[in-house]
Amino acid sequence: MTNHVAIVGAGVIGAGWATHFLAHGFSVTATDPGEGAQTRLREWIDDAWPAMERLGLANGASRDRLTFTNDIGAAVRDADFIQESGPERADVKRALIAGIEAAARDDVIIASSSSGLSISEIQAGAKHPERIVLGHPFNPSHIIPLVEVGGGKLTRAENIEKAMAFYLSTGKKVIRINTEVKGHIANRLQVALWQEAISLVQRGVASVEDIDTAIAWGPGLRWALLGPFLNLHASGGSGGITHVLRHLGPAQREWSRDLGTYPETDDYIESIASGVEKELQPHDFAEMLRQRDRLLIELMEAKRGLSQIP
């Protein structure tokens, strides 16, 4: 039985994980070498706790069950599950794994929050690579349920299943990555959209603000309820997705040939950043994020009440 979770790396993602596990009744020990990391983590959790209360706290949930240490060995020694959320560099993650394995029990699963590195890269040189899995969340990770789970070349299938079961037990929505690919699943889908969004701005087709509006007030509303394939199926009437793909297939192939490519240099960054700054001028961004989190929770609450929404 899992009662004690260790968080290795207490940045935004690690802090979100710590908040999530505390809210679900676990004892959490966090470690991070950064100066002031403990203060930042506790403040982050305090700010996020009202959202956890809104989502519903598990029995025994308490911020008082958080322990912080600068000693990675002390953080993982008594852990039943370890969530690594260090910097997105393979060499750094391998060093963290070495530090974890020097103190953790041999049978404890080590899950990496890596957003793009393969587990095969991360587990290289590990003493027990068979227990290292991917556990990739989405920001804000204390609110958004999705976790992508997968393994590397040396991961045992049973440990992937155990990690999936554990995340499911904490209220997460889990998907399994069957074959390692760079960027996993959801990030690849996001990059495909970002690629065309950047291209449309660079080509002068639309402004940054209009691109954001197009998604936030168009297909994004549907995507929040059903995924891309079910939405296509709904567009086909009685013929479903088969009718849509046959009907729109030729046009979609033509559109796809006209899609932009991701810029090969950083020249585009200034114009995109300028567009974002212009879009944000009339807004308080911190308050925007607070309102975003409230709406995310309201949407999740609404979806929970609908038996036919996956």
Amino acid occupying residue 178: N
| Residue among 143, 144, 180, 140 at smallest CA distance from 160 | 180
Give pLDDT tens digits for 172-211: 999 999 999 999 999 999 999 999 999 999 999 999 999 9
Q: Give the distance between the most distant pair of CA atoms in the chain.
A: 61
Give pLDDT tens digits for 64-74: 999 999 999 99
- Give me the pLDDT at residue 65, please: 98
Domains and CATH numbers, the chain: 4-176 (3.40.50.720), 186-304 (1.10.1040.10)
Cβ neighbourhood burial of 11 (10 Å; 0-12, 13-18, 19+): middle
Alpha-carbon gap, residue 173 to 167, rounded angstroms: 8
Q: Is the dihedral of CA 67, 69, 72, 78 positive or negative?
A: negative
Give pLDDT tens digits for 151-175: 999 999 999 999 999 999 999 999 9
- Give me the pLDDT at residue 42, please: 98
CB atoms within 10 A of CB 278: 12
pTM of the model: 0.93
When pLDDT is averaged across residues 134-145 and rounded to a whole number, the result is 96
Torsion, CA 239, CA 196, CA 183, CA 138, rounded to 10: -80
